[in-house]
Structure 1
Amino acid sequence: MPQIIEFPARHYVGIRATVTMTTFGVVADRLGEIFAWLAERGAPPAGGPFFRYFVIDMKGDLRVEGGVPVATPVEGEGDIFAATLPAGRYVTETHAGHPDQLIDATAALLAWAESQGLRFDMTREPDGEHWGSRLEIYHTNPEEQPDMNKWETELQFRLA
């Protein structure tokens, strides 16, 4: 059952890209690079990696970030930037299972929110849905659990 949780602003470092559903690896494949970059600077991650969706057009382009949270701000370098997730009330739900099932899990979360009369920090534009803060946070380390059917992914969508 989804919950509504108030989150403070949260620091992270990440990379940005415009991708499609078939080229999503352009972002996903660089998460390891971000972890290594943080380790070189002695800045430990403060949680699991995430994808932040800014613009979603499932049949076209997606503007996304791949990020890793940090406890204190870290200065970016090159195409790795430092930023902050906005504070606010988020609808959150944890999905247990293969990431391929996230489309259905997301649809269920959106349907639940609509049934509750909730509005997200999102606008519909000609190029797709523009989100203030829509996250998929990966809580399972693939090196410790290679079976993707056992992964836990948290969805966090900020409310308007």
Structure 2
Amino acid sequence: MPVPGGRGRGVVAVVEGPAIVERDARHTLGIRVRTPFRGMLAVRDALLAELHEWLTGRGVEHGAAFFRLHVVDMAGVMDVEVGVTTPTAHGGDDRVGPGTLPAGRYASLTHVDHARRANRALVEWIAGTGLVPDRADTPEGDAFGCRYEMYLTDPRTERMKTKWRVRLDIRLRDG
């Protein structure tokens, strides 16, 4: 279903949502880095390949890959993480670390193609419904309690990013 991509910038092919959903906490393994916004997706792609090689080399069972935005500063440096969900907690090493996608209420939207438009559409939906994202203004940028893109299509088997099904989740503040 197409929805406006925000401020007159085309449409987004929405598969599901936007909606408020409850998510359970999930164990993760990931690589967290700081990188400029410009070129960030190339960094994401390289880290995804590195992480999958690490997981395969250790035989770690895992679920879908995600791209988490810890701190957003589109004019500066982003604090991001590429990871996967795991059924149980795992130790990491000096490069790949364990973590958690925390439980809570999330604004969620699943889309195909146009990631920036989809993100904008979800952020504007949150604001338009009077919900409040779990975020704080910091000197580094917008720090999120939990904001990520979950890749429902495996990037290793579908090279065309315009065909990926991606679920966006932004945790909401309680109350």
Q: TM-score, normalised by structure 1?
A: 0.90
Identical counterparts, % of pairs: 37
Q: How far apart are the structure 2 equivalents of 1:23 and 1:102? A: 15
Q: Aligned ranges for residues 22-41 of structure 1 at < 5 Å?
A: 22-24=38-40, 25-41=42-58
* Aligned 1:8-23 pairs, distance under 5 A: 8-23=24-39
* Structure 1 outlier segments of 4+, above 6 Å: none
Following superposition, the deviation at residue 22 of structure 1 comes to 2.3
SS in 2 for 1:29: helix
Please name the residue that 1:122 is paired with. 135
Aligned to 2:168, which of 152, 155, 160? 155
Q: For the Cα contact (< 8 Å) 2:67–2:148, is it kept in 1?
A: yes
Supply the distance in 2 between the matched residues of 1:34 and 1:137 (Cα, whole angstroms): 15
Amino acid in structure 2 at the alignment position of 1:26: V
| Change over 3 Å in CA distance of 1:137–1:83 after alignment to 2 | same
2:86 aligns with one of 52, 70, 74: 70
Deviates more, 1:143-152 or 1:108-117: 143-152
Q: Which residue of 2 aligns with 1:80?
A: 96
Whole-angstrom CA distance in 2 between matches of 1:144 and 1:30: 16
> Distance in 2 between the 1:96 and 1:123 partners?
29
Kindly provide the CA deviation profile for residues 76-121 of structure 1, in whole angstroms up to 9, marking residues without a partner as x. 0121101111111111100112xxx211111111111111110010
Q: Distance in 2 between matches of 1:125 and 1:33?
A: 30
C-alpha contact 1:16 1:27 (8 A) present in aligned 2: no
Q: Following the alignment from structure 2 to structure 1, what is the Cα–Cα distance between the partners of residues 91 and 28?
A: 10
RMSD: 1.4
After TM superposition, the score normalised by the length of structure 2 is 0.83
- Residue 96 of structure 1 corresponds to 112
Gaps of 5+ in 1: none
- Structure 2: where are the runs of 5+ without partners? 1-16
1:59 aligns with 2:75: yes
SS of the residue corresponding to residue 50 of structure 2 reads helix
Given that 1:17 and 1:26 are in contact with CA atoms closer than 8 Å, whether structure 2 keeps it comes out as no
Q: 1:10 to 1:109 in 2, by over 3 A?
A: same
Could you tell me how far apart the structure 1 residues matched to 2:59 and 2:156 are?
21
Q: Distance in 2 between matches of 1:8 and 1:22?
A: 32
Match in the other structure for 1:45: 62
Q: CA deviation at 1:33?
A: 2.1
Query: Which of the numbers 5, 19, 42 marks the counterpart of 1:3?
Result: 19
Q: Which amino acid in 2 is paired with 1:112?
A: W
Q: Is the 8 A contact 2:37 2:73 kept in 1?
A: no
